[in-house]
């Protein structure tokens, strides 16, 4: 993108900048990069991804801009930063030296075969032939060993890369995991919702769940009891999840469940099941064995409507939760 002539750059920036201003896009380097590319219209997948994100979210969240930037604008840049990892450098260096060695060994063997063929044309005595056979056998064993050693290097590199892949996935997960409950955190939720939205029809439902009177639990028993209760409810909710559902803890005693492929009426039945299950628990604080008074939760339920953005969906589900709290708690609201 940076090698274009200056008039073309100016023309594209003149298209990109008003678009960014109109859509209230923050003037970050990532955004400049992707909106410049958008204006150039030369990467249809990028334009489609931006259009679909704006349709669903109304905005272009920062983390999405970064993803799009690395995916479509400067894919090599991410390569570059990963390639700075010393372990990856080691793998690349090892592979380079073993590749050089095997190339040399194979080329030597080719020479040997060439020479052997030449000698065979003139060799007519048995001892002469025997020498050729022995020589060929020795060289074959040598190249065989070299190949084995190269295969081992390849296997080691493959294993190291597998390991690095696992570690990278874990690093990403750590950033999106709530250490208190081991559920996803708000960032994990946002990423998951973003992943679901482009494919969602009218069957993507959010359940926003909040433990009732957590402040009172803290005051009456102790804050540690409240925290232990949050963990307990997290485990219980997780155990009740249907297939194709995702749960995250947003803050305090507040959780969100995304259920895909479930319409409002079924999702509401599921919410009701969770509510009943929680209210029927006999919960003891494990350290003192104190039996807590009845614990309840309130739930807002909302299903994605047509071209609704994620923000609008989240606002509706929050309104429903607020309504459940204002009208007595320990209930679900889904309108």
Ligand X SMILES: Nc1nc2c(ncn2[C@@H]2O[C@H](COP(=O)(O)OP(=O)(O)OP(=O)(O)O)[C@@H](O)[C@H]2O)c(=O)[nH]1
Kindly list the residues in this chain that would bind ligand X in the complex (CB under 6 A): 210, 212-216, 218, 223, 226-227, 230, 252-253, 325, 329
- 33 or 226: CB nearest ligand X: 226
Distance in Å, CB of 217 to ligand X, minimum: 7
Least Å distance, CB 219 to ligand X, is 8
Which residue, 33 or 253, is less far from ligand X as judged by CB? Answer: 253
Asked if 229 and 283 touch (Cβ cutoff 8 Å), the reply is yes
CB 171 to ligand X: min, Å: 25
Nearest C-alpha neighbor of 232 from the set 208, 245, 214: 214
Nearer to ligand X, 82 or 180 (CB): 180
- Dihedral of the alpha carbons of 25, 31, 36, 41, in degrees to the nearest 10: -80
Q: Please answer whether residues 57 and 196 qualify as being in contact, where contact means their C-beta atoms are separated by less than 8 angstroms.
A: no
- Report, in Å, the least distance between residue 210 CB and ligand X: 5
CB nearer to ligand X: give 234 or 245: 234
Contacts of 188-191 with CB under 8 Å at 24 or more apart are 188/248, 189/246, 189/248, 189/250, 189/256, 189/258, 190/61, 190/63, 191/63
Between residues 102 and 214, which has the closer beta carbon with respect to ligand X?
Answer: 214
Determine contact, residues 30/69, Cβ cutoff 8 Å.
yes
Instruction: Report helix, strand or coil for 294.
Output: coil
Q: The dihedral of CA 59, 66, 29, 1: what is its sign? A: negative
Least distance (Å) from ligand X to the CB of residue 47?
A: 42
Q: How far is CA 291 from CA 217, 229, 282, in A?
A: 12, 12, 7
CB of 254 to ligand X, least distance (A): 7
Q: Which is nearer to ligand X, 187 or 329 (CB)?
A: 329
């Amino acid at each position: 993108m940076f090698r274009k002539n200056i008039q073309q750059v100016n023309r594209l920036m003149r298209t990109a900048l008003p678009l960014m201003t109109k859509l209230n896009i923050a003037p970050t380097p990532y955004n400049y990069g992707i909106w410049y590319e958008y204006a150039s219209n030369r990467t249809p997948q990028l334009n489609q991804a931006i259009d679909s994100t704006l349709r669903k979210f109304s905005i272009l969240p920062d983390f999405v801009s970064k993803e799009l930037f690395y995916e479509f604008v400067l894919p090599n840049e991410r390569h570059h930063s990963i390639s700075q990892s010393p372990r990856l450098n080691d793998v690349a260096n090892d592979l380079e030296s073993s590749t050089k060695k095997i190339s040399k060994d194979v080329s030597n063997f080719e020479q040997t075969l060439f020479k052997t063929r030449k000698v065979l044309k003139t060799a007519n005595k048995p001892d002469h032939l025997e020498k050729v056979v022995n020589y060929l056998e020795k060289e074959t064993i040598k190249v065989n060993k070299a190949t084995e050693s190269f295969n081992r290097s390849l296997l080691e590199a493959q294993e190291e890369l597998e390991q690095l892949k696992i570690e990278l996935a874990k690093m990403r997960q750590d950033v999106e995991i709530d250490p208190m409950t081991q559920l996803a955190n708000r960032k994990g939720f946002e990423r998951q919702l973003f992943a679901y939205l482009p494919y969602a029809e009218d069957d993507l439902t959010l359940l926003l769940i909040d433990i009732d009177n957590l402040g009172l639990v803290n005051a009456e028993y102790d804050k540690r009891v409240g925290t232990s209760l949050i963990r307990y409810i997290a485990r219980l909710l997780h155990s009740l999840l249907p297939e194709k559902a995702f749960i995250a803890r947003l803050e305090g005693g507040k959780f969100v469940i995304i259920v895909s492929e479930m319409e409002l009426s079924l999702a509401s039945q599921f919410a009701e099941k969770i509510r009943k299950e929680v209210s029927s628990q006999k919960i003891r604080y494990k350290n003192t064995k104190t039996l807590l008074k009845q614990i309840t939760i309130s739930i807002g339920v909302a299903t994605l409507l047509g071209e609704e953005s994620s923000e609008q969906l989240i606002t509706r589900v929050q309104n429903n939760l607020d309504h459940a709290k204002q009208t007595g708690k320990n209930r679900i609201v889904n309108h």
